[in-house]
Each structure stands twice: as structure tokens, then as C-alpha cells.
């Protein structure tokens, strides 16, 4: 592995620092902008290279001591070496850069909303058991690290981890939860999820008749907002999540198990778009072309886009500009110590 000294210029989405050598970008994990570092090149491509951190030669004042003994080996966290305030600054800048560079959007980004808890916030984790080890896989390598305690997991989850380890479990994957409930997607950070819900609630207008919630899961947003609309329609591909939402659905709630491309188009066809709002909360891959087209064909008065990937959010917003105006983008830190970012985009139809 070739040794290289680098000046770290930035931190890219995904968590790796960015340096340059011989005109080529080099990505280095566990570094901070402004640091001078010694690295070893581990992978080299035509336009970029990846390296591992050997030593920090000039340390940033934003560097701190990680709380986790597995940090740097475990693949879960990327930012424990940064003070939390600086993590927020990094994530805010990454959203700003994505919207500007990918989406060609100049809408000011709101100040990032921090998590109420920096550690101990995860209400569930998935660990792996193999050959007597129980834990997480290493970063970029399929090698299991034996983990006794996870600092970002809630106390109840760590208690479940202790109990699992004591049973010498069979090889496999185990999801450990702070509380029981249906095995459907749910937000992992309760405090940040509440902040997210409040943001979405504030952005939606009063007096609208219809809310369409695509990628609704078991109704995280839909149920909270149902009382504000004459009718709410939740669309979700996961039939178990839809069944869970239907168990306590009100008279004005409808849940559809199906593909968003088809069902968003159906839900919006023929309605009064001027009194209709929509929420989309897609996976990291963002909206499909079909869903984007459905929204362009039926530009609702208010559209709230909840994203977990700034790059695909920026891509989709660039397309939606044909019918919508971006009013604001608000980043939110759902996963402190990690490179993940949530962002809420608020759009309105150009027809209104």
C-alpha cells in the first residue's frame, strides 16, 4: 500500500474526508477538513483513490475522543471522532452542496435540526452471529467484530444484546428492539422522529381536503395528520405495514398496498389539486421516474419530500422544478455519529 500525506479539504457525503494527490481525489475515513494526515492508498481508480488513515499529523480542534471502543473498525459510525456540533455543520454543508451541484438549486438551506440525544438513541439494531461472535461487520470488509455494547443504542437494546450474547445464539441475523411491536419499518430515533413529524406538520397548510402519503409505512405521518384532512390516502408496497396501518384506521383513512408509480397517479387523478397535499418519503434511491412523472402530471398545491439521501433528493428536485417551486430544505440529524442525513424539502405548485 502506497503511503501518501494529504491535506483534507472537505468531508463527502458518506463520511470520508477528501484530499488530493497528483491531481486525483483521495477519500480517507475518520478525518476532518483542515487536517494533515498520513495515509496508505488501498484502492486506486482512474479518477479517484481510497486510502486508510495511518496517522493524524496536524489535528483539527474539532477532533474528539470516540466513546466506542470499536470505532474505526465497526462499519456503523463514521463521525465519532468529531465533536457533535461539527458533525451538524458537516451534514448541513453536504446538503447545501448536493442541492447546488446536483440540483442546480440556490434555495437557502435551513439550519439543521439536531438530535435530542447524541448517543443511546437507537431503538433497534441488527446484529449478526457467526462462529461464536455477535456484533457488526467491519467497514468495507465482510469480517464480523464481536460487540458487547453499542453506545448509540438505547439501554433497553443493549440489555437485549447482553441477553442474546449470553444464549450463544445460532449463526444468523438478529434485530434487537427497545419495545415490542409489528415487524415493519419505523423510525429508529424516537426524539428526532418527533422533530421530523413536527416539521412536516408545520409545512402542510390547513383547509386542504386530501392528503396523499406515498411510501407511508404503517402510517407514521398519515395517522398524525389525518384529523386535518377530509380524506387521507397512504400508499406503501409492504403489505404487512399496510395491514398494521389498517388495524386502527379512522373513517377518513385509506391505505393501499401497491407500487407508488401506479398508485400516486391513481390517487391524484381527477381531484382538486388546489386543495390537495402530498408527502413522499422514498428509500435512499429516491423517487422512481414513474412517481416523479405522476407528481408532474398532477402538481398538488403542497408537496413535502422527506429524504435520507441528499444526492437523490437533489436529482428529484431538479426534475420537479418543472411544476414546483422549492420553498425550503431543512436537514435533520436522525443518526448522530453516522454519515446519514435526513432532509425535508417543502415545495408548492407553480400553478398556485
Q: What's the start-to-end Cα distance of the chain, in Å?
A: 59
Distance between alpha carbon 211 and the CA centroid of its chain, in Å? Answer: 23
The answer to whether the beta carbons of residues 196 and 342 sit under 8 Å apart is yes
C-alpha cell recorded at residue 102: 446536483
Mark whether 308 is an active-site residue. yes
Q: Report pLDDT for 50.
A: 95
pLDDT value at 345 more than 90: yes
pLDDT tens digits for 122-167? 999 999 999 999 999 988 788 999 999 999 999 999 999 999 999 9
Range with lowest mean pLDDT among 176-185, 206-215, 236-245, 337-346: 176-185
Separation between Cα atoms, residue 156 and residue 179, nearest integer Å: 8
Higher local confidence (pLDDT), 307 or 180: 307
Query: Residue 123, class by beta-carbon neighbours within 10 Å (0-12 exposed, 13-18 middle, 19+ buried)?
Result: buried
Please report, rounded to a whole number, the percentage of residues in the chain having pLDDT higher than 70: 98
Query: What pLDDT sits at residue 219?
Result: 93
Question: What per-residue confidence (pLDDT) applies to 181?
Answer: 61
Q: Which is more confident, 108 or 159?
A: 159
- Non-local (6+) Cβ contacts of 1 within 8 A are 40, 41, 42, 52
Structural domains present in the chain: 1-63 (2.40.50.140), 100-114+186-349 (3.40.50.150), 124-177 (no CATH)
> Which residues on neighbouring strands pair with residue 175, listed in sequence order?
126
CA–CA dist 203, 337 (Å, integer): 28
pLDDT at residue 184 above 70?
Answer: no
Band (185; pLDDT cuts 50, 70, 90): low
Residue 29: is its pLDDT beyond 90? yes
Q: What is the mean pLDDT of residues 231-239?
A: 95
Higher pLDDT, 107 or 342: 342
- pLDDT tier at 351 (50, 70, 90 boundaries)? confident
Position 183 pLDDT exceeds 70: no
Mean pLDDT, residues 242-251? 91
CA distances from 11 to 18, 100, 127 (A): 6, 16, 28
* Mean pLDDT calculated for residue range 265-275: 95
For 211, counting Cβ atoms within 10 Å of its Cβ (0-12 exposed, 13-18 middle, 19+ buried), the class is buried
- The catalytic position among 216, 308, 343, 348 is 308
Strand order from edge to edge, sheet including 324-332: 253-257, 231-236, 210-214, 276-280, 302-307, 342-349, 324-332
Model confidence pLDDT, tens digit, residues 47-103:
899 999 999 999 999 999 999 999 999 989 999 999 999 999 999 999 999 999 999
Cα-Cα-Cα-Cα dihedral sign, residues 214, 219, 220, 222: positive
State the chain's mean pLDDT as an integer. 94
pLDDT of 179 > 90? The answer is: no
- What is the pairing mode between strands 302-307 and 342-349? antiparallel
Task: Please give the model's pTM, rounded to 2 decimal places.
Answer: 0.93
φ, ψ of residue 280 to 5 degrees: the values are -125, 135
Whether 46 shows a pLDDT value over 90: the answer reads: no
Task: Report the alpha-carbon distance of residue 47 to residue 57 in Å, rounded.
Answer: 26
Measured distance CA(311)–CA(101) in Å, rounded? 9
Q: Grid coordinates in use for 33? A: 477538513
Amino acid at each position: 500500500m502506497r503511503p501518501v500525506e494529504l491535506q483534507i479539504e472537505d468531508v463527502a457525503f458518506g463520511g470520508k474526508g477528501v484530499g488530493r494527490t497528483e491531481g486525483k481525489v483521495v477519500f480517507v475515513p475518520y478525518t476532518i477538513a483542515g487536517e494533515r494526515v498520513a495515509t496508505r492508498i488501498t484502492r486506486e481508480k482512474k479518477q479517484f483513490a481510497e486510502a486508510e488513515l495511518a496517522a493524524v499529523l496536524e489535528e483539527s480542534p474539532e477532533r474528539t475522543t470516540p466513546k466506542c471502543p470499536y470505532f474505526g473498525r465497526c462499519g456503523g459510525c463514521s463521525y465519532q471522532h468529531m465533536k457533535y456540533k461539527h458533525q451538524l455543520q458537516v451534514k448541513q454543508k453536504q446538503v447545501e452542496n448536493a442541492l447546488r451541484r446536483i440540483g442546480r438549486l440556490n434555495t437557502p438551506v435551513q439550519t439543521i435540526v439536531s438530535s435530542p440525544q447524541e448517543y443511546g438513541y437507537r431503538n433497534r439494531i441488527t446484529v449478526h452471529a457467526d462462529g461464536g461472535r455477535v456484533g457488526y461487520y467491519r467497514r468495507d470488509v465482510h469480517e464480523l467484530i464481536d460487540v458487547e455494547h453499542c453506545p448509540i443504542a438505547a439501554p433497553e437494546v443493549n440489555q437485549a444484546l447482553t441477553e442474546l450474547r449470553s444464549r450463544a445464539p445460532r449463526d444468523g441475523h438478529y434485530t434487537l428492539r427497545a419495545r415490542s411491536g409489528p415487524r415493519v419499518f419505523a423510525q429508529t430515533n424516537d426524539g428526532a422522529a418527533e422533530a421530523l413529524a413536527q416539521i412536516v406538520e408545520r409545512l402542510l397548510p390547513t383547509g386542504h381536503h386530501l392528503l396523499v402519503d406515498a411510501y407511508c409505512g404503517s402510517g407514521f405521518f398519515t395517522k398524525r395528520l389525518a384529523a386535518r384532512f377530509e380524506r387521507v390516502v397512504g400508499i406503501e408496497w409492504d403489505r404487512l405495514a399496510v395491514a398494521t396501518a389498517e388495524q386502527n384506521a379512522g373513517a377518513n383513512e385509506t391505505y393501499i398496498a401497491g407500487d407508488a408509480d401506479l398508485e400516486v397517479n391513481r390517487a391524484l387523478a381527477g381531484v382538486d389539486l388546489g386543495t390537495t397535499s402530498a408527502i413522499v418519503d422514498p428509500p435512499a434511491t429516491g423517487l422512481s421516474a414513474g412517481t416523479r412523472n405522476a407528481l408532474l402530471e398532477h402538481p398538488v398545491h403542497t408537496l413535502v419530500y422527506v429524504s435520507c439521501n441528499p444526492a437523490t433528493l437533489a436529482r428529484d428536485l431538479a426534475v420537479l422544478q418543472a411544476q414546483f417551486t422549492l420553498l425550503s430544505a431543512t436537514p435533520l440529524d436522525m443518526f448522530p455519529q453516522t454519515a446519514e442525513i435526513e432532509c425535508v424539502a417543502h415545495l408548492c405548485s407553480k400553478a398556485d
